[in-house]
């Protein structure tokens, strides 16, 4: 029984890890070696013999440096440009989501709001609203307001998109803070706003950080709306440029893409390790507590 | 609810100041598009809205009569059933394996979480490198390593299976995680009682473990189902929008309403899907309510 267990775990870990390792191996190869009909786990540093006059990347491992080179990728900007766009969009929208979500969650947690049950149900249901039921009007709305092809448009959309998650997660965290803390502060002459800033915000800081990580990851990874609303390479986020490369029939710069993909995955891996204790809560809207 | 000093008039401003901005944004980006979507669905709108006119229920007729819409629904249903079932079984087995603590358990658990957090586009990218039938790792390993004559070119011959494989790779850990939470919530004394009664291993599994995990597993299934029904990213990245075999609901909508600019038709289609999904979501939210009430009691 024990052996079966270990074999199963080991097999699964292997299947889970091999793609990432292979991605790394690919990222340090020559493109011509990537598409060779032979499995090579260790890249050959020698320049391939029958290579075309210009072999990319010029030396093994150099695809990582080419991330900042637009000529090789044949895009308007170097790959790193799209990563920076993703970074800006993800960070700004996360800040907005967490701020709005925390204040909204506090309101629902501490005050009697007319129809609060219905509002909370509505907030939750927006998360399950299939994007395809709203994507067409949002596209038209964005065209009318000139928000297509802008980073601001994406930031606004991701903020709202993550808001339902932020409200639900933060409500869970704030509900856990004893009301006696604020009541004591109010008795001491604090106003509600002061109580919110000086009692709730510090107490809920962990919760806000966890919520922020989830918002960050979902904004960082979002693809569908970015594809539809954002077609100018100036404001394009990284997932859309990956799709652009994958859609090419020839001339896919595999080594560069592998390096880019790995670079794009690294922050997510780090964040996953940081919030591992809260992942279940985040993925199930705080309905299951660990 | 609190018994605070809520009768003060300025209180009204204060509390709606807290909840207001978020609610306004959510309404603006959900309710408003929802209604304009219904409006567009009765018009012949194309990407350029000028000259758009009402066409009555024509778009709905198209949606229900054109075979591609029915096909997309079938593709999505097959996809959803297969991936959710496989993920459930694999995830539950993994959870059973990882249930007892051992050295390095935390590391294994953390490592297993990573796939589902990665960007689907990144995931598709390296799976394309692996499944490719010219230079893919999987293909070449089967051919050269295991000496298979004609290994399956999954990505080309059965692209839907390729999408399923990647989805299962990404989301099995999610099932595992929820199943693990379910397993951990079973009180120890029940097992001790079973031991005293000399219940066999299978009996314990079938009569205690499985039924006690069932509610939380159902929650996981519902969550995964609503997600799988929306499948878009993996199909777009691995196959693209034009192959009818892999056109899920979202991909077909993208192809019709965005790529082919049939806004009115797309809107009608979106609305039909919405009605179908609302039923499922209602089930889900009711269920969450039930779980929370149960949690509150215990």
pLDDT tens for each residue of A240-256? 888 888 877 777 778 77
Q: What is the predicted pLDDT for the residue at A97?
A: 92
Side-chain-side CA neighbours of A196 within 13 Å: the count stands at: 17
Angle, alpha carbons B69-B73-B76 (nearest 5°): 135
Q: What is the pLDDT of residue B78?
A: 92
Structure tokens at B141: 């390993």
Q: B177–A279: do the CB atoms touch at under 8 Å? A: yes
- β-bridge partners, B43: B54
Residue A276 to residue B110, Cβ atoms within 8 A: yes
**Best-predicted range by mean pLDDT (A7-21, A37-51, A82-96, B113-127):** A82-96
* Spatial separation of the C-alpha atoms in residues A60 and B201, rounded to whole Å: 55
Residue of A nearest to B251 (CA): A132
- The answer to whether A38 contacts chain B (CB < 8 Å) is yes
- Spans in chain B with pLDDT lower than 50: 1-3, 6-7, 298
Would you place residue A49 in the very low, low, confident or very high pLDDT band (cuts 50, 70, 90)?
low
Using CA atoms, how far apart are residues B128 and B130, in angstroms rounded to an integer? 5
CB A97 within 8 A of CB A162: yes
A16 contacts in B (CB within 8 Å)? Answer: 111-112, 114-115, 169, 173
Q: What are A281's two structure tokens?
A: 């809560």
- Which residues in chain B have their CB less than 8 angstroms from residue A224's CB? 232-233, 236, 250, 254
Q: How far apart are CA B156 and CA B159, in angstroms?
A: 6
pLDDT value for A11: 85
Q: Is there a contact between B18 and A111 if contact means CB atoms under 8 Å apart?
A: yes
Q: Tell me whether A16 touches chain B (CB under 8 Å).
A: yes
Q: Is residue A95 pLDDT above 90, yes or no?
A: yes
pLDDT for the residue A155: 93
Q: Is the pLDDT of residue A58 over 70?
A: no
pLDDT of residue A241: 86
Quick one: average pLDDT of A145-171?
Answer: 88
Helix (H, G, I), strand (E, B) or coil at B43: strand
Shortest CB distance from A132 goes to which of B240, B249, B292? B249
Position A96 scores a pLDDT of 93
Q: Residue A54's pLDDT is what? A: 55
Chain A residues touching B252 at Cβ < 8 A: none
Average pLDDT over residues A215-233: 87
Which positions 153-192 of A are in contact with B (Cβ < 8 Å)? 157, 159-161, 163-164, 167, 179, 183, 186, 192
* Residues of chain B positioned with their CB less than 8 A from the CB of A265: 118-119, 122
Contact A130 B250 (CB under 8 A): yes
Tracing tokens 């930031």 back to the chain, one arrives at: A155
Residue B177 with chain A: CB contacts under 8 Å: 279-280, 283
Select from A7, A15, A19 the residue whose CB has the most chain B CBs within 10 Å, as the one to mutate to test that interface. A19
Q: Average pLDDT for residues A112-121, to the nearest whole number?
A: 79
**Tell me, what's the ipTM?**
0.82
For residues A216 and A87, give the distance between their C-alpha atoms in angstroms, rounded to a whole number.
Answer: 9
A vs B, Cβ pairs < 8 A, gives 297
For tokens 């990284």, the residue is A238
Tokens of A241: 């440029």
> What Cα–Cα distance (Å) separates residue A271 from each residue in A85, A259, B119, B180, B264?
19, 19, 13, 21, 41
Determine whether the interchain pair B126/A183 forms a contact, defined as Cβ–Cβ distance below 8 Å. Answer: no
> What is the CATH topology of the domain spanning B75-297?
MetI-like fold (1.10.3720)
Judge: A107–B141 Cβ closer than 8 Å, yes or no: no
Q: Distance between CA A77 and CA A88 in Å, rounded? A: 16
Q: Are B131 and B169 in contact (CB under 8 A)?
A: no
Confidence (pLDDT) at B269: 84
Q: Residue A96 corresponds to which tokens in the numbers above?
A: 């907005």
Whether chain B has a CB inside 8 Å of the CB on A84: the answer is no
What confidence score (pLDDT) does residue B1 get? 45
Tokens of A217: 């990851």
Task: Return the residue matching tokens 């704030």.
Answer: A174
Please list every residue in chain A whose beta carbon sits closer than 8 Å to the beta carbon of residue B216: 288
SS3 B54: strand
From first CA to last CA, the distance across chain A in angstroms is 28
Token digits for B200? 């066999």
CB atoms within 10 A of CB B77: 14
Length of chain A: 290
Mutation site for A-interface testing, chosen from B13, B26, B213 by largest number of A Cβ within 10 Å: B26
Which tens digits make up the pLDDT trace of B145-188?
777 777 777 777 888 888 999 999 999 988 988 888 888 888 88
A38, A136, A239: best to mutate for the B interface, most B CBs within 10 A: A136
What is chain A's mean pLDDT, rounded?
80
A37:B49 CB<8 A: no
Task: Give the minimum alpha-carbon distance from B224 to chain A in angstroms, rounded to a whole number.
Answer: 10
Greatest Cα-to-Cα distance within chain A, rounded to the nearest angstrom: 82
Domain extent listing, chain B: 75-297
């Amino acid at each position: 029984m024990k052996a079966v267990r270990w074999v199963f775990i080991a097999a699964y870990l292997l299947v889970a890890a091999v793609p990432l390792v292979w991605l790394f191996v690919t990222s340090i190869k020559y493109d011509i070696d990537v598409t060779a009909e032979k499995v090579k786990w260790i890249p050959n540093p020698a320049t391939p013999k029958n290579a075309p006059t210009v072999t990319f990347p010029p030396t093994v491992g150099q695809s990582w440096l080419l991330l900042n080179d637009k000529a090789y990728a044949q895009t308007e900007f170097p790959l790193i440009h799209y990563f920076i766009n993703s970074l800006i969009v993800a960070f700004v929208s996360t800040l907005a989501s967490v701020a709005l979500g925390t204040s909204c969650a506090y309101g629902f947690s501490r005050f009697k709001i007319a129809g609060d049950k219905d509002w909370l149900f509505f907030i939750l249901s927006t998360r399950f609203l299939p994007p395809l039921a709203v994507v067409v009007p949002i596209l038209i709305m964005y065209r009318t307001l000139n928000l297509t092809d802008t980073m601001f448009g994406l930031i606004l959309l991701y903020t709202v998109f993550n808001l339902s998650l932020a409200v639900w997660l933060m409500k869970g965290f704030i509900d856990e803070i004893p009301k006696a803390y604020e009541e004591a502060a109010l008795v001491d002459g604090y106003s509600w706003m002061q109580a919110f800033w000086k009692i709730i915000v510090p107490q809920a800081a962990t919760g806000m950080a966890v919520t922020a990580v989830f918002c960050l990851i979902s904004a960082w990874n979002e693809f569908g709306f970015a594809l539809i609303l954002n077609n100018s390479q100036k404001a394009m986020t990284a997932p859309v440029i990956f799709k652009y490369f994958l859609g090419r029939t020839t001339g896919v710069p595999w080594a560069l893409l592998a390096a880019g993909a790995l670079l794009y995955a690294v922050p997510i891996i780090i964040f996953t390790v940081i919030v591992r204790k809260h992942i279940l809560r985040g993925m199930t809207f705080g309905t299951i507590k660990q | 609810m609190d018994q605070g000093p809520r009768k003060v008039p300025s209180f009204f401003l204060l509390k709606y100041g807290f909840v207001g901005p978020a609610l306004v944004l959510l309404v603006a980006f959900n309710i408003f598009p929802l209604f304009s979507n219904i409006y567009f669905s009765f018009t012949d709108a194309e990407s350029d809205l000028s000259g758009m006119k009402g066409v009555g229920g024509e778009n709905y007729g198209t949606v229900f009569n054109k075979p591609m819409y029915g096909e997309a629904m079938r593709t999505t249903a097959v996809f959803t059933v297969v991936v959710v079932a496989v993920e459930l079984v694999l995830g539950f087995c993994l959870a059973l394996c990882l249930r007892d603590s051992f050295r390095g358990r935390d590391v294994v658990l953390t490592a297993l979480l990573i796939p589902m957090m990665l960007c689907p586009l990144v995931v598709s990218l390296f799976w394309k490198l692996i499944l490719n039938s010219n230079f893919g790792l999987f293909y070449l390993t089967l051919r050269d390593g295991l000496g298979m004559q004609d290994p399956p070119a999954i990505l080309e011959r059965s692209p839907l299976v390729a999408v399923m494989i990647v989805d299962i790779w990404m989301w099995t850990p999610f099932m595992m995680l929820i199943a693990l939470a379910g397993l951990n919530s079973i009180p120890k004394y029940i097992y001790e009682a079973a031991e005293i009664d000399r219940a066999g291993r299978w009996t314990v599994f079938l009569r205690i473990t499985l039924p006690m995990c069932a509610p939380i597993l159902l929650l996981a299934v519902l969550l995964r189902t609503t997600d799988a029904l929306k499948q878009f990213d993996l199909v777009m990245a691995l196959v693209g929008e034009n192959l009818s075999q892999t056109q899920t609901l979202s991909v077909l909508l993208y192809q019709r309403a965005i790529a082919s600019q049939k806004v009115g038709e797309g809107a009608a289609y979106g609305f039909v899907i919405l009605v179908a999904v609302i039923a499922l979501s209602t089930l889900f939210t009711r269920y969450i309510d039930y779980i929370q009430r149960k949690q509150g009691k215990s």
